[in-house]
Every structure is written in C-alpha cells, then in structure tokens.
Structure 1
Amino acid sequence: MSEKGNVFAFADAAEVEVLDEVVSRQILTFNDEIMMVRVICRKAGPAGVPHSHPHVQITSVESGMFELTIGGRTERLKAGDSFYVPSGVHHGAICIQPGVLVDVFTPMRQDFLKPT
C-alpha cells in the first residue's frame, strides 16, 4: 500500500491486494481528504457488488469494458469513459472485458486501509 501523503505514486511499488477471483485493488496515494485506487479486473464477472458509501466517487475507465449501474441507470463504459457516484447512491459494476478502473474518493476510504 502507498503511504499516506506520498506526492508521487508508483504502480510497481504499490501492493496489489487480491479481493476475489475477479478483482484486485491497488491503493496509489491518499491523504485524509482524497484517495486514488486502481481496480484491476482480471476476467469477466462482478467488479463491484451493488453497494453504497458516504464517499463521493469519480472513476475513469483506463482499459477494458464495464457495465455500470448507478442509481438504477445502467450504461456500458470503455477505455476513456468515466462516471460519477454521489454520496450514498447505490451502484455496482460488472466487468465485461478485463481491464482497469481508476477510482478517486473523497473523503479517503479509511475502510480500505489495513490496520497497523
């Protein structure tokens, strides 16, 4: 995991945490106000079970193809597309083609950090 407050984040130095058989997560850099995370989808399947959280989220599709449902609306996104999830809105993702999402959360996701 990246250290809090790093000015630079190097993907090859940040730990990749395997969450399940489809998704891995890589925390890049963060402070108390904002966090950037790569979500790596290795194969087609659920990339984010429907959920909500108090954080505001914006995400860029770095590669692959994903079906996103946000607040009951579903769209298919590809590399270069992005989406916005307001605080508390129910959302989820399905990986159609393996790829990477880059999530930005505010405030940072304390729940993503491992206890020290």
Structure 2
Amino acid sequence: MIPPWVYLAGGALALSASFGAGWTVRGWKADSDELEQVTLTRAAIDAQRKVADAAAMGFEDTRAALDRQAYDTQTIIRETYREIAVPAECAVPAAVADSLRDATEATNRAVAGQPPRAMPATATASGAAD
C-alpha cells in the first residue's frame, strides 16, 4: 500500500506545476497583449506623423508662394518708383524723417535681438501733465 503522504506530496507537486504552467502561459498572454498595444501605438504615431508632415508641406508651399509674391511686389514697387524725382515741396518734414529713422532703428534692433535704445532726455522734464 502507498503511504498517504505520497498522495499528498504528489497532489502538491501537481498543483504547483499547474500553477507555474498557468503563470507562465498568462505571462506569455500579457507579453502578447503588450506587443499588440505597442504595434497599434506605433501605427497611430506613424499616421499622425503623416498628417503633420502633410500639414507642414502645405504650410511650406503656401509660405514659399507668399514669399515669391512679396518679393515680386517689392520688386515692382522698387522698379516703378526708382526714377521718380520728388519735388522739394513734397519732402518729408525733419521731425517725421527722424521718427521714421528711429522706428527703423528700433525694428532692426528688435530683429537683431538687441535691447531697445534708451529714450532721449527731453529739455524740459516738467512738461508732464499735472
């Protein structure tokens, strides 16, 4: 006759083997599910990248067309008004010319990333509104 502890040991061994096999198979299933999600995510990323690339190409095409149009417009204006003499009575007043020069200088400094120039000191500081 087989002692009862052998049955108990055999049952415990079969139970642990089936638990280990189930654990391993479940791990394989989890890995498979994770791989499927990674594959789907990569496909979604590729699809979004294609959408973004198409939008960027559209933007670049539009920008290039607008750049060409702006260049053509500037060239036409420059060529049209190149040889026109301005009579002396149409000259810009000195204050307006100074203002335009200051605005141009401020714009150029801003484009170059330099800080703006300090405001010039006025002769009368007490001219502020009371």
What TM-score do you get using the length of structure 1 for normalisation? Answer: 0.17
Higher RCO (Cα < 8 Å, 6 or more apart): 1
Please tell me whether Structure 1 or Structure 2 has the larger radius of gyration of its CA atoms: 2
User: Quick check: which one's strand share is greater?
Assistant: 1
User: Quick check: which one's helix share is greater?
Assistant: 2
What TM-score do you get using the length of structure 2 for normalisation? Answer: 0.16
